[in-house]
Structure 1
């Protein structure tokens, strides 16, 4: 584990955010990014209800975020065939590429931090 002081961690986050803006990548809110990373880093299945519980927000908040990210093709939704009340969240190729590239950006910017 890399130990960062608070100001170093903030500088890293700033540099990652600046890189995202400069690269003209999809502009995700912090909430959208938290949802996206949860879906791609935590084992499935993922549901609207489960994401709402994990993030401590309402289901409509998750739905709005999924609408936006669905339009960007970063995630997809479908009904659970076993329980039609559940909406399952699926990963997409575009989303997987976004997350991989985002991770690469974090690693690159962390490597640029002054010791």
Structure 2
């Protein structure tokens, strides 16, 4: 077996910090995936109109507000918060379209039932 000299303590510090940051980053990505708007189903309650009222978390509301500003607004929001929420623009846009379609379908159904 070759005689290996142990690394000096100052050389171990960057390795330890790198390992700590790598595991923290992996944990943050796992939490971001769990908190992704496409993976969190918006639960619904019946409102007075008979249409399900969406219950959205803070991130989902912020995404919808950004989407209301237009395609460019959504793109800027996703780009600005990409390191925090790990959102994908295409996936987020699909989620926004699904939420809007669900709300539109409900409005059409309510209008059809009205006298």
Q: TM-score, normalised by structure 1?
A: 0.34
Higher relative contact order (CA 8 A, sep 6+): 1
Question: Which structure has the greater CA radius of gyration?
Answer: 2
TM-score normalised to structure 2 length: 0.34
